[in-house]
Amino acid sequence: MPGHTFPGNKLRMDADPTPLVDILSDTQLTVLKSELLDSNQSYCEIILDNANLESHQASNIFIEQAIITDTDFSNGRWTGLELIEVLCRNCNAANVDWLGARMTDTEFHRTRLTGCNLSGTNLRNVLFYRCKLDLSLFHDSQLTGCLFQECDLREADFQNTTLKRVIFRNCDLRNTRYPSTSLTGIDLRGSQLAGMHADTNELQGALVDPFQVADIASILGLVVERLPTDSPNEYTTNIRFQSAGKHPFVEPDSDAQ
């Protein structure tokens, strides 16, 4: 697993940024014995492992410097959630409602977030590494300095989303939607873009690689076809020069002196 760092991370701006896993490894963490995370509570420097929080509902939970592994958050509803320096690994958060959540310097590794509602969220320096985010919603959200690496984002919806310094690296972005969302400066290189819904204005300034040109052309409604190689005469003209020094298509001017 690569060491993940982010440009602009306030805690990792030195020449040799420290990955979150190393920051948490140097912190004295306490294993949380209770599976439930109660509303209106703060949890700092904790480990939550193999907890069953399926369909759990809670509000105004603050978690800082935590490692969460093999935990089931699916079908839950969390309002007013705030995460700072949280590492979430191998968890199930399918169809969870995290509407309006705030996440900073947080990482999700190999976590299932299919159908997750991340609308109205503020995500700053958040990493999604090999996560399933298909059918997820990012309506009216703000993403700054985020990295999606090797993620499945098929049919995710980024309607009216503010994206700044966001990278989608080697992701599946097929049939994703970006209505009223600018992709200027967004790095899409290495990702699958077929069927992506974005108009010309939204795509302006996006960073792509040469292998994605056909997908971009399809998004813009262009038809890309190779020139036929078996019928060269269709595209060439056999020009025979009548005499040396004369252009075959230029006739002398009869009025010339």
Taking only the tens place, the pLDDT of each residue in 172-197 is 999 999 999 999 999 999 999 999 99
The rounded distance, in Å, linking the Cα atoms of 140 and 127 is 19
63/41 Cα distance (integer angstroms): 9
Integer angstrom CA distances of residue 207 from 81, 121, 133, 184, 216: 32, 24, 22, 8, 11
Domains in the chain, number: 1
Domain at 74, CATH number: 2.160.20.80
Closest CA to 149 of 121, 177, 108: 108
Q: Determine the Cα–Cα distance for residues 38 and 62; give it in Å rounded to an integer.
A: 10
Q: 255 or 193: whose pLDDT is higher?
A: 193
Q: Is residue 52 part of a domain?
A: yes
Say how many residues make up the chain. Answer: 257
Exposure b/e, 114-127, CB count within 10 A at least 16 = b: bbbbbbebbbbbbb
185 in any annotated domain: yes
Average pLDDT estimate for 5-30: 64
- Whether residue 32 lies inside any domain: the answer is yes
Look at residue 11 and tell me if it is in a domain.
no
At 118-134, the pLDDT tens digits run 999 999 999 999 999 99
Is 196 buried (19+), middle (13-18) or exposed (0-12) by CB count in 10 A?
buried
Give the three-state DSSP class for 202: helix
Q: How many Å apart are CA 48 and CA 153, to the nearest integer?
A: 26
Is 257 inside any structural domain?
no
pLDDT score at 10: 41
In a domain, 26, yes or no: yes
In a domain, 7, yes or no: no
Q: How far apart are CA 122 and CA 132, in angstroms?
A: 20
Task: Render pLDDT for 242-252 as a digit per residue (tens, 0 to 9).
Answer: 555 555 444 55
Q: How confident is the model at residue 33 (pLDDT cuts 50, 70, 90)?
A: confident
Give me the domain span that covers residue 97: 20-225
Match 């020009």 to its residue by tokens. Answer: 239
Task: Establish if 201 belongs to a structural domain.
Answer: yes
